[in-house]
Amino acid sequence: MTSTVSTKETIKGKRKFKKQSNSSVHITTMESKKRKVEEMDVDANSDETVPSAPVFPPDKSRKLHHIEERKVRIPQHRLTPLRNNWKKLYDPLVTHLKLAIKFNPKTKVVHMRTTEHTEEVSSLQKAADFIQAFVYGFDVDDALALIRLHDLYLETFDVNDVKLSLQGDHMGRAVGRIAGKSGKTRFTLENATKTRIVIADSRVHILGAHQNIAAVRRAICNLILGSPPSKVFGNLKAYASKISDRN
């Protein structure tokens, strides 16, 4: 009898202990939830009181510690346009970018270097791209956009890079599909993608923003591969409408 009573008492004690432990777990979980809610409230209030990060203008007072130089070789067929437009090429590089520039007629190379008055580190690269765009055949006014704007780039590729089997008359027909009659196709490509295109022999040079260059390059490749111009123009029209909707 004593053993049965003791076992009953132990079972009751275990049940009470389980109830107490469950209640304590429940209390601790409730307290932890309250603490988490209070911490979330504190974080939310702290976000409201933290001021926004300041925006600082670019530091133009910093001078370059060493002199850098770039060279651009001028081909024979661009020497006469270089002499005729030297004033237009010289002024923006010296007045705006504050660089030193000279042309060596013996080596047919344009030398550009930084000076103590040069403010921006990217000025030399902009000047090299500007002269290189003129060498490719772009107008001076179009090439000046490389100096004024920061998101313009140059890209060049060969028609043979798209299709290797183009030779003789096939090459001429491929270039003709890019240019179009009296340059209409080229003008349409430029207006739809806001780019500038120069076709020199079998090479195609493109000046514009990165996304626009990719779009017009895709269209030119489709024309080289034989796609009808109407289909290419339809795709460009859809691209132009998408860009206008974003803006």
128 in Cβ contact with 70 (< 8 Å): yes
Q: Whole-number mean pLDDT of the chain?
A: 80
Query: Which pLDDT score is estimated for 150?
Result: 84
We report the CATH number of the domain holding residue 139 as 3.30.1370.10
What is the rounded CA–CA span in Å between residue 42 and residue 67?
54
Residue 43 has pLDDT above 70, yes or no: no
- Residue 160 inside a domain? The answer is yes
Q: Same structural domain for residues 143 and 166? A: no
Give the domain range for residue 205: 153-246
Taking only the tens place, the pLDDT of each residue in 49-82 is 556 667 666 555 555 557 889 999 999 999 999 9
The verdict on residue 59 lying in a domain is no
Residue 228 pLDDT > 60 = yes
Q: Which pLDDT score is estimated for 189?
A: 92
pLDDT for residue 27:
42
Percent of residues, the chain, with pLDDT higher than 90: 44
142 with 202, same domain: the answer is no
Q: Among 148, 171, 187, which residue terminates a domain?
A: 148
143 in the same domain as 96: yes
pLDDT tens digits for 126-143? 999 999 999 999 999 999
| Average pLDDT of span 118-125 | 86
The reported pLDDT for the residue numbered 2 is: 46
One domain for residues 168 and 217: yes
pLDDT above 70 covers a percentage of the chain that reads 74
| Of residues 197, 210, 119, the one with CA closest to residue 159 | 197
In this model, does residue 94 exceed pLDDT 80?
Answer: yes
Q: Please name every residue paired with 103 in a beta bridge, in sequence order, or none if there are none.
A: 110
Predicted pLDDT at 57: 65
Q: Is 215 a domain residue?
A: yes
Q: What is the pLDDT of residue 25?
A: 42
Q: What pLDDT is stored for residue 38 in this prediction?
A: 52
What mean pLDDT comes out for the span 11-29? 48
d(CA 18, CA 24) in angstroms, rounded, equals: 10
**pLDDT tens-digit readout, 144-189:** 999 988 889 999 999 988 887 777 788 888 889 999 888 899 999 9
pLDDT at 51: 61
Q: For residue 112, is pLDDT > 50?
A: yes
Quote the pLDDT of residue 103. Answer: 95
160 with 231, same domain: the answer is: yes
Domain count, the chain: 2
The predicted structure's pLDDT at residue 67: 83
Q: How far is CA 8 from CA 2, 11, 157, in A?
A: 10, 5, 93
Q: Which of 84, 117, 148 is the last residue of a domain?
A: 148
Residue 157 near residue 175, CB atoms below 8 Å: no
From CA 183, how far away is CA 178, in angstroms rounded? 8
